[in-house]
């Protein structure tokens, strides 16, 4: 909190460092630096990482393939989640850890709708758009459930969402009677794979669309402003005529929409679902994306583009680790180390220590006391 006040002082003292300092104080510094590090690492270790080639997919369409395309493609769900998670973090000062489980629910609902009661359906029983809308609606209801617990019952967000984290995958299995429906209709898979004739994966377009919508919403509505003010001080925003509870609830419902879209992309990649494995550990990645984007996990001001960039960096890291044969089950251990490093570096105490290390000792002592 006190660091911004101290900036000018340090900059005056060491003018030769000012450019570097100004850079490091930029909110996007951490994700950009991480991205550059990863790119450099891959360039040095194996430049073929960046190769993009044109291949034919199983339908005979020419499509682009390569690690970069795979990063852009596979990051889609994460980017969409990170956007919603940023809003929730900003308004309530906590994170929703049930996103993976709710994605399973949304996916399960959508599959149930398009498959009817068949275990393996060849045609859709319902227009896809309607099924997706129902999925979004269900997901919004679960978002509202979380939001109500957080906003109206004042339960810590992570504990409130623990309920859905525990029950979500079970509810998803229950919706389909624990069967694993498979959708064979190729049009169902368009959203998760490729549209005919277009060589770029569809999820990339969906993500771009979602980002565009949020850009417009944040630009032309007061959502962003209200969210920040509630996150910074709920009481004074109430005195200024806002309804902090409603706004918190709203951010959770918005996250619900994001979760449903992400869940839809995930199920339409394969046309099937595995309740315990789908979107496993994605809540961790989403929180990590928000933190990596330079957003305070304790709420308040946010930068949605930081989170988006953070999400791509995480997917880049994941793809890089996969390339070096790290098994998917061991990935969480590596990511956990990254998370801990990040939160340690962004902890106020550490920042203050780092800042005071460069000052005169007497002044540092004064700051601490």
Partner 1 sequence: MPKGIALDKQGRLKDRVAMTDTNLLLTITVVVFFILYLSAVFFLGGSFAKPQNFLNILNNNASLIVLSCGMSIVMITGGIDISVGAVTSLVCMVCAVNLEQQGGNMLTVILIGLGIGLAFGVVQGFLVAHLGIQPFIISLAGMFFAKGMTTIVSKEPIRVTNEGFLAVKDTRVIVPGLGSPNKLGVYIPAYVEVGVVIALLVVVLLFCMLRWTKLGRAFYAVGGNNQSANMLGINVRRTKFLAHVLCSLLAGLGGILYFLHVGSGDVANGAGDEMNAIASSIIGGTLLTGGVGNVVGTFFGVLSLNTIKRIVSSLGFDEAWWSNITVAGMLCLFLVIQSIVLLRKNTSKQ
Residue 339 touching partner 1 (CB under 8 A): yes
Residue 247 near residue 230 (C-beta atoms within 8 A): yes
Interface pick for partner 1 out of 335, 359, 364, 367 (rule CB under 8 A): 335
Own/partner contacts of 166-173, CB < 8 Å, gap of 24 or more, are: 166/101, 167/101, 168/98, 168/100, 168/101, 168/102, 168/104, 168/105, 168/142, 169/101, 169/104, 169/275, 169/276, 170/275, 171/105, 172/101, 172/104, 172/105, 172/107, 172/108, 172/273, 172/275, 173/108, 173/275
What's the angle, vertex CA 225, arms to CA 223 and CA 228, rounded to 5?
Answer: 105
Give the interface segment with partner 1, choosing from 47-55, 111-119, 225-233, 284-292 (CB under 8 A): 284-292
Give the interface segment with partner 1, choosing from 2-10, 84-92, 123-131, 159-167 (CB under 8 A): 159-167
Q: Is 335 exposed, middle or buried (0-12, 13-18, 19+ CB in 10 A)?
A: middle
Q: With H, G, I as helix, E, B as strand and everything else as coil, classify residue 108.
A: helix
Give the interface segment with partner 1, choosing from 6-14, 48-56, 78-86, 161-169 (CB under 8 A): 161-169
Residue 330 token pair: 């061991």
Contacts for 92 with CB less than 8 Å, ≥ 6 apart: 150, 151, 157, 231, 248, 251, 252, 299
Give the interface segment with partner 1, choosing from 122-130, 217-225, 281-289, 314-322 (CB under 8 A): 281-289
Residue 239 touching partner 1 (CB under 8 A): no
* Minimum separation from the CB atom of position 348 to partner 1 (A): 6
* Closest to 136 measured CA to CA, from 186, 80, 82, 97: 80
Q: Which of residues 290-329 bind partner 1 (CB under 8 A)?
A: 291, 297-298, 327, 329
Name the residue nearer to partner 1 (CB basis): 196 or 348. Answer: 348
Using CB under 8 A as the binding criterion, the count of chain residues that bind partner 1 stands at 47
Q: Which of residues 127-156 bind partner 1 (CB under 8 A)?
A: 149, 153-156
Residue 178 touching partner 1 (CB under 8 A): yes
* Minimum separation from the CB atom of position 64 to partner 1 (A): 32
Residue 368 touching partner 1 (CB under 8 A): no
Interface pick for partner 1 out of 119, 141, 186, 340 (rule CB under 8 A): 340
| Residue ranges that bind partner 1, judged by CB under 8 A | 94-95, 97, 149, 153-156, 158-160, 162-167, 169-171, 173-174, 178, 281, 284, 287, 291, 297-298, 327, 329-337, 339-340, 343-344, 347-350
């Amino acid at each position: 909190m006190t660091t911004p006040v101290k900036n000018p002082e340090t900059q005056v003292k060491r003018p030769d460092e000012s450019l570097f300092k100004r850079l490091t104080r930029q909110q996007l510094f951490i994700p950009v630096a991480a991205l550059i590090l990863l790119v450099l690492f891959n360039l040095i270790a194996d430049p073929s990482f960046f190769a993009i080639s044109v291949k034919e997919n199983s339908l005979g369409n020419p499509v682009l393939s390569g690690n970069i395309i795979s990063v852009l493609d596979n990051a889609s769900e994460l980017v969409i989640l990170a956007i919603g998670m940023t809003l929730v973090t900003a308004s309530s000062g906590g994170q929703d850890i049930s996103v993976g489980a709710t994605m399973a629910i949304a996916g399960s609902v959508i599959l149930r709708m398009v498959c009817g009661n068949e275990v393996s359906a060849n045609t859709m029983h319902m227009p896809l758009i309607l099924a997706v809308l129902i999925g979004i609606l269900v997901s919004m209801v679960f978002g509202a459930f979380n939001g109500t617990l957080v906003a109206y019952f004042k339960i810590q967000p992570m504990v409130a969402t623990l309920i859905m984290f525990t029950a979500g995958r079970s509810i998803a299995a229950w919706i389909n009677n624990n069967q694993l429906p498979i959708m064979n209709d190729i049009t169902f898979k368009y959203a998760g794979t490729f549209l005919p004739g277009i060589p770029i994966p569809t999820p990339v377009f969906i993500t771009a669309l979602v980002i565009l919508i949020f850009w417009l919403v944040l630009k032309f509505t007061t959502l962003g402003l209200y969210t920040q003010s509630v996150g910074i001080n709920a009481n004074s925003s109430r005195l200024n005529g806002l309804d902090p509870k409603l706004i918190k609830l709203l951010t959770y419902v918005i996250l619900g929409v994001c979760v449903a879209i992400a869940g839809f992309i995930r199920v339409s990649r394969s046309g099937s679902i595995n309740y315990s494995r789908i979107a496993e550990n994605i809540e961790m990645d989403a929180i990590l994306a928000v933190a990596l984007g330079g957003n305070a996990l304790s709420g308040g001001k946010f930068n949605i583009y930081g989170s988006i960039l953070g999400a791509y960096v995480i997917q880049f890291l994941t793809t890089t680790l996969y390339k070096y044969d790290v098994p998917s089950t061991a990935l969480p251990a590596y990511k956990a180390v990254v998370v801990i490093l990040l939160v340690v570096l962004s902890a106020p105490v550490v920042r203050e220590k780092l800042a005071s290390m460069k000052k005169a000792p007497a002044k540092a002592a004064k700051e601490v006391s």
